[in-house]
């Protein structure tokens, strides 16, 4: 058997390996919100379109996240696609202990009481249909109820551990 340089560099599965590989994967940046005794929200790069019929999305959330207790019982969530002009907002919602809904965050109560962020590229309000255990996370699947794709602008990306802009 011939060993290639790539095989020499192979590592056994670990959280560090997973993080290292996914730092090489560019992802869109979204903020997930939910209503509770106080609104909650977090920055997510795991948002994906799961099905077209019915229209389903999915995202992952750590069970240690400060937003998890509300998301674990919420019926609806808001999904917000951030624009490249919203690095600060992405950082706010990614920072543990931050008052994420205080100024300068602009938001209003949307359909089903879900916090809807203003100035985003696009947003959805979705009804949660499943919470699937996935290690120290839950994979949340939700059906799209209503949304607005008309915010315009270019999406914010996450790559190499940093927020980045799309280049032509």
Contact indicator for 161, 73 with CB cutoff of 8 Å: no
Domain boundaries, the chain: 28-153
Q: How far apart are CA 40 and CA 77, in angstroms?
A: 10
**pLDDT, position 6:** 63
Q: Is the pLDDT of residue 5 over 90?
A: no
Per-residue pLDDT band at 102 (split at 50, 70, 90) = very high
Of 1-10, 32-41, 46-55, the one with minimum mean pLDDT is 1-10
Q: Is the pLDDT of residue 19 over 90?
A: no
Q: Give residues with Cβ within 8 angstroms of 117, minimum separation 6.
A: 31, 33, 41, 78, 80, 89, 105, 106, 107, 123
CATH topology of domain 28-153: Pnp Oxidase; Chain A (2.30.110)
Q: Is the pLDDT of residue 9 over 80?
A: no
Contact indicator for 121, 81 with CB cutoff of 8 Å: yes
- pTM score over 0.75: yes
**pLDDT, position 24:** 85
Per residue in 104-143, pLDDT (tens digit) is 999 999 999 999 999 999 999 999 999 999 999 999 999 9
Of 7-16, 57-66, 72-81, 94-103, the one with minimum mean pLDDT is 7-16
**pLDDT, position 128:** 98
Per-residue pLDDT band at 11 (split at 50, 70, 90) = confident
What would the mean pLDDT of 53-82 be, rounded to a whole number?
Answer: 97
**pLDDT, position 29:** 97
CA 22 → CA 45, 61, 73, 157, 160, distances in Å?
10, 16, 29, 13, 8
């Amino acid at each position: 058997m011939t060993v290639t340089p790539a095989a020499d560099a192979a590592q056994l599965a670990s959280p560090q390996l997973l993080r290292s590989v996914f730092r090489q994967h560019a992802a869109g940046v979204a903020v997930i919100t939910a209503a509770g005794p106080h609104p909650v929200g977090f920055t997510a790069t795991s948002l994906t379109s799961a099905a077209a019929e019915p229209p389903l999305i999915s995202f992952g959330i750590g069970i240690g996240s400060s937003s998890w207790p509300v998301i674990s019982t919420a019926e609806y969530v808001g999904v917000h696609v951030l624009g490249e002009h919203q690095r600060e907002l992405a950082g706010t919602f990614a920072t543990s202990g931050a008052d994420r809904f205080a100024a300068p965050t602009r938001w209003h109560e949307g359909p089903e009481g879900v916090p809807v962020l203003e100035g985003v590229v696009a947003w959805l309000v979705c009804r949660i249909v499943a919470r699937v255990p996935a290690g120290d996370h839950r994979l949340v699947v939700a059906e799209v109820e209503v949304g607005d794709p008309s915010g315009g602008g270019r999406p914010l990306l996450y790559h190499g551990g940093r927020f980045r802009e799309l280049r032509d």
